Amino acid sequence: MLGRLISISIVSLSVACSSIDYKKLAPGSFSGSLFVMWVDEGGPSGDGTFLFVPDPGDPLIFRRADQQAPGKTIQPGLMYTDGGSIPKVAQVFNGLSPWGYAPAYMIHDWMFVARHCIVDGSSDKRFQQVQDVDFDQSAAILGEAIKALVDADRVDPNDVAANTITGAVGSVVARQLWEKRGACAAQQVSAKDIAAAEAAIPGSTRARTLRTFRLPEAAPAAVPVAKPAKIVSRVTF
């Protein structure tokens, strides 16, 4: 989601600048682990369909420096992530490329997924951690997460790239996506892809993680036997 958003929003920056000043943001902190999994070839564009999958024993968590602020602690759940960007993440995570900010992107994508489901009527408790986060705060949290990666020596400092990305996700294009309604259902992970992730890492999609992507009125879905998803990357803090 965020990869496509950045590519569109950077173009729009010439006419709509973000109010977020990356240099003034305080770094947060990461803990836990994430997996990125490839589940199928996808459509004619991009490199396939990819999932962010929390480590069942030590899930990725982001904590803001200001623990009184909205979204003070964010733990993303199972979700789709940008297929076109993931091979770059796997290849250059420790390099200078902005795609090295993958964990920060996961936090940002999760806020958008949660926002879409909240406005569509979901009462899932796992979305409550970000229910008070507004659009400007979502952009600020991404910047704080990028700074957390710099502080942890996971990426080299690059204020130009980080400031551009933070500005892009605070643009008019991004705001329109934030306000979109009717998007929750389409963002639910399919039963087939849930099964593929579960086959690759047992326990990764069970209990709370799986319920995150079931609308309140939906009946439990049967999980088919599946070929394990391919683990593209694992990042641990």
pLDDT tens string 196-218: 999 999 888 875 444 444 434 44
Nearest alpha carbon to residue 1 among 40, 58, 44, 46:
46
Residue 88: pLDDT band with limits 50, 70, 90: very low
Amino acid at position 175, single letter: R
Residue 124 has pLDDT above 50, yes or no: yes
Mean pLDDT of 129-149: 94
Question: Which stretches within the chain are classed as H helix?
Answer: 2-12, 86-92, 102-119, 135-151, 159-168, 172-178, 191-200, 207-211
Residue 23 has pLDDT above 50, yes or no: yes
Task: Give how many domains the chain has, as a whole number.
Answer: 1
Rounded distance, CA 79 to CA 192, Å? 13
Residue 126: pLDDT band with limits 50, 70, 90: confident
Length reported for the chain: 237
pLDDT at 18: 60
pLDDT at 94: 43
Are residues 21 and 170 in contact, defined by beta-carbon separation less than 8 angstroms?
no
The parent domain of residue 70 ranges over 2-236
Model-level pTM?
A: 0.81
Residue 98: pLDDT band with limits 50, 70, 90: very low
